[in-house]
Structure 1
């Protein structure tokens, strides 16, 4: 059964920032809203991940038709300002103008301030991001399925999403980046109007103050495939394979491979499989970790474990992930938390002790861990579905084990019907993923990966108290 959860009693005051020479769109259907993701002519801006740890791929919408730039400098030295020109990103959206620009060769450990725009058209308000110090100990945040707009409740789900993003940033203030694993928006309903789903998602300031990556989910294709143009125009993807939305980037000692799992027919899966093989062969040799981002959940009790699409994806891609040495696959889609056993292709490695938060998993060659994360927006949740195909509202992990209802590849699951985020701590010898209930800061799951021959102590970090959503 699909659960619909109302937003909590959270409030946010948003104000527009006036900028000299600001111009408004002449279109009667202008999608520029009067919220904090707007500054002058610039709106729905994101400081996206670049090809490597010292790069940023910017994307923004503009109400100004002239040339625009990204102007940036170290906060410690404004006199060192540089600017790069943008180009129009036209994938067929007609209600707004999108622009892309890239900045490369940034200095590790430096905080940069930037503005987007031009002297003639106006500049956005200053924003900052920090390039991490470039060593092999670093952190990133993973979220999924903000899916703003379920049941047309854009405003309250936007509040939930901003709160989740704020809590994640408070828990990991030094995070190198945020990753969003698809379904940023609902799709049906108002997508790009002033109170629409894209404006609501982009209203989280973390999209401009952290390097941010996203992959498309199935809701990026709703109400029709034409809607994918909005994803393409909003995300300046590094190292993209043609126009597929399959892309990769490198971050310190990790290689990230982002897949467009909407292409789930045989040809699309073969293309993804070959992209993974080629990317690991070309860029994975000097990396400690290979991480795949894929929207659809291969191992989840969210109701789709036996669906034909999921079975086909699992059967086709899982052996490839093990073949090339993928360590971790991060999934969304099912709006509940699930952790697989270590999987060698389609075969689970089942330990004697039942899985629990705090597990340290020693992985052998060819073994991959799959994690499905819960929603960051809270518009809907899915009940547990057992291996008998029945749904069990309110089912607990303990009871599902006692009754033998768990799927054979799933080690641990949690459904508390609240929003979550995950903080991933990376080092050369371990990968720790700590998933947290955003509503109260309680622990959802904590699992550490080490390779055979290495040891690691369980994480003893405590979740942070949820942050109050600040006004801007």
Structure 2
């Protein structure tokens, strides 16, 4: 039986999908690649059964030599990944001796069928791999990915809120998102990670939005480090699409609120960076304290293995736009900054506000150096100094305009004395109603952060195309749109060299008091 597309599977109807849920095979595996074959003997689908494999996404693993694959299938029978060095393909076909990684498969009660994931382990550096998922005779197309050096400098890309469907036109949103991925990865073909700021889609359980989000094959070629946003909760679709490493969904992080439990806190080590990703949807009644406890435990356990600690979560605590004074962000501004300074966090990446901002160095919730100038392109990090970055829309589906600092809404989030139109925390605030993405270069002695334009005022740019924004371009539309690839903001953060690692705290923390 030939591979068929997911839409054909969906056309089988609810009755067919209910039959598919009759049995569930759960096969858990992470097997070393390259150390001998790990070949499964999968059961086969019933004769005449049409099998669909769809919504494949390559995810980040727990370390450089791992990747995670997640996908949907119409059958639970023997789902696995086959992986081989791309040079071993024979006229595009997999050889007989191929390494296989059996999948964990669970029923997808919302959409019918099954969702599967498998961890590819034991990858070698500087190697191009080919893979396919599915079952014997019912394989997906073949995709490839490239590993780089497992030590040394590298770059990763950070994307804010694709939120496919938020403009009201899923196709236009998907086109903008796909174009940003194409622009970003054409300019940065050796980028090693794609890091999410959350809100992949507008409505968590609308699979047509997920289809548009996952439409680009770039998400099958470069590992996506998922982050859960407020539009990704309300169901289990997020965790069905993204299996993340070292994930903790313990009750204290969520206070029993099932609506926000799809996707927990997780961490991974990649070269010299300890990445920690939080589900910031839960924040009240002790959840912030639980998240801080999680970060503390991970940093204390694994921080010595990394030069840099990068936190990622959705809700931007130093929002410059519509969410600047939301009550939940006001609470997080009280709860998070001092803890992050004490833990030696270097960089915090956030989404949610559909605008771009880059903070000054913030220490214990205050500007670390009152003399740091707005828009400085070089900063030297002192102990406890943390830079917070908020990513703009990567798809063009929705933008939020910058707001003026308003002390009547939050007396602790007033204007910057050096640049009163900005909030005090932010060195740069920007909104042009054009798509952008953030590039982070990780070097031995610094982090270089750049916000780059991935579009102009022209299509695909759904919010502008549909007339939801009345202007487009720099200076509130007074200046023509700059070209794709041009720089909105760039800063080199020369990291602190004292203590444990770069910005890690020494045993004596008197300087924090």
TM range (shorter): 0.7 to 0.9
Distance 2:77 2:106 in 1: 14
Deviations 1:270-313 (A, max 9, x none): 11101100001111112111000010111121132222210111
Paired position in structure 1 for 2:63: 52
CA 1:325 to 1:380, structure 2 compared with 1: closer, same or farther past 3 Å? same
> What's the offset of the Cα at 1:254?
0.4
Q: How far did 1:446 drift? A: 0.7
Match of 1:213 among 218, 221, 225: 225
Q: Give the distance between the partners of 2:486 and 2:419, measured in 1 at CA.
A: 27
Q: Secondary structure, in 3 states, of the residue corresponding to 1:284?
A: helix
1:236 corresponds to which of 239, 243, 263: 243
1:126 aligns with 2:142: yes
How do 1:394-413 residues align onto structure 2 when only pairs under 5 Å count? 404-413=420-429
Q: 1:170 aligns with which of 176, 183, 186?
A: 186
Q: Of the two, which has the highest radius of gyration?
A: 2
Measure how far apart 1:86 and its partner are. 0.7
Q: Deviations over 1:340-392 (max 9, x none)?
A: 110112011245363226x111111111100001001111111111113799x
Query: How has the CA–CA distance of structure 1 residues 167 and 450 changed in structure 2, closer, same or farther, with 3 Å as cutoff?
Result: same
Distance of 1:297 and 1:99 partners within structure 2: 32
Q: Shift in Å at residue 316 of structure 1?
A: 0.9
Contact 1:168 1:422 in 2 (8 A): no
Q: Distance in 2 between matches of 1:40 and 1:427?
A: 46
Counterpart in the other structure of 2:265: 246
In 2: Cα distance, 1:341 partner to 1:294 partner: 19
Change in CA separation of 1:379 and 1:401 when aligned onto 2, cut-off 3 Å: farther
The one of 365, 368, 386 aligned to 1:368:
386
CA deviations 1:91-115 (Å, max 9, x no partner) are 7534342001111110011111001
RCO (CA 8 Å, sep 6+): is it higher in 1 or 2? 1
**Helix, strand or coil: the match of 1:163?**
helix
Ranges in structure 2 where 5+ consecutive residues have no aligned partner: 18-49, 90-94, 251-260, 410-414, 456-483, 499-513
Rounded Cα–Cα distance in structure 2 between residues aligned with 1:67 and 1:90: 14
Contact in 2 for aligned 1:181/1:217 (Cα 8 Å): yes
- 1:356 equivalenced with 2:375 (yes/no): yes
Rounded Cα–Cα distance in structure 1 between residues aligned with 2:341 and 2:177: 34
Show the counterpart of 1:154: 170
Hey, what does 2:206 align to over in structure 1? Answer: 191
* Offset from partner CA, 1:42-64 (integer Å, 9 cap, x none): 11111100111110111001123
1:40–1:124: 8 Å Cα contact kept in structure 2? no
> Compared with structure 1, are the counterparts of its residues 86 and 453 closer, same or farther at alpha carbon in structure 2 (3 Å cutoff)?
closer
The answer to whether the 8 Å contact 1:42/1:124 transfers is yes
Counterparts in 2 of 1:205 and 1:404: CA distance versus 1, 3 Å: same
Establish whether residue 28 from structure 1 lines up as the match of residue 13 from structure 2.
yes
Partner of 1:200: 212
Alpha-carbon distance in 2 for matches of 1:389, 1:319? 21
- C-alpha RMSD over aligned residues: 2.5
Question: In structure 1, what is the equivalent of residue 486 of structure 2?
Answer: 442
**Bigger mean CA deviation after superposition, 233-242 or 59-68:** 59-68
In structure 1, what is the Cα distance between the partners aligned to 2:373 and 2:344? 25
Which secondary structure does the structure 2 equivalent of 1:406 belong to?
strand
Write out aligned runs for 1:45-124 (5 A): 45-78=56-89, 81-90=98-107, 92-120=109-137, 122-124=138-140
SS at match of 2:325: coil
- Which residue is equivalent to 1:422? 438
Distance in 2 of aligned mates of 1:390 and 1:90:
50
| Whole-Å separation in 2 of the counterparts to 1:90 and 1:294 | 28
Do the aligned partners of residues 68 and 313 (structure 1) sit closer, same or farther apart at CA in structure 2, a change above 3 Å counting? Answer: same
**Is the CA contact 2:272–2:305 (under 8 Å) kept in the aligned structure 1?**
yes
The two structures have a TM-score, normalised by structure 1, of 0.82
| TM-score with structure 2 setting the length | 0.76
Corresponding position: 1:258 with 2:273:
no
Query: What's 2:358 paired with?
Result: 339
For residues 341 and 382 of structure 1, the distance between their equivalents in structure 2, rounded to whole angstroms, comes to: 21
1:51-87 Cα offsets, whole Å, 9 max, x none, are: 1111011100112342111000111234562001111
In structure 1, list runs of 5 or more residues that go unmatched: 1-18, 32-38, 392-398, 455-472
Q: Is the CA contact (8 Å cut-off) linking 2:3 and 2:140 kept in structure 1? A: no
Q: Is the 8 A contact 2:167 2:398 kept in 1?
A: no
User: 1 CA distance for matches of 2:3 and 2:228?
Assistant: 35
Alignment counterpart, residue 294 of structure 1, candidates 286, 290, 313:
313
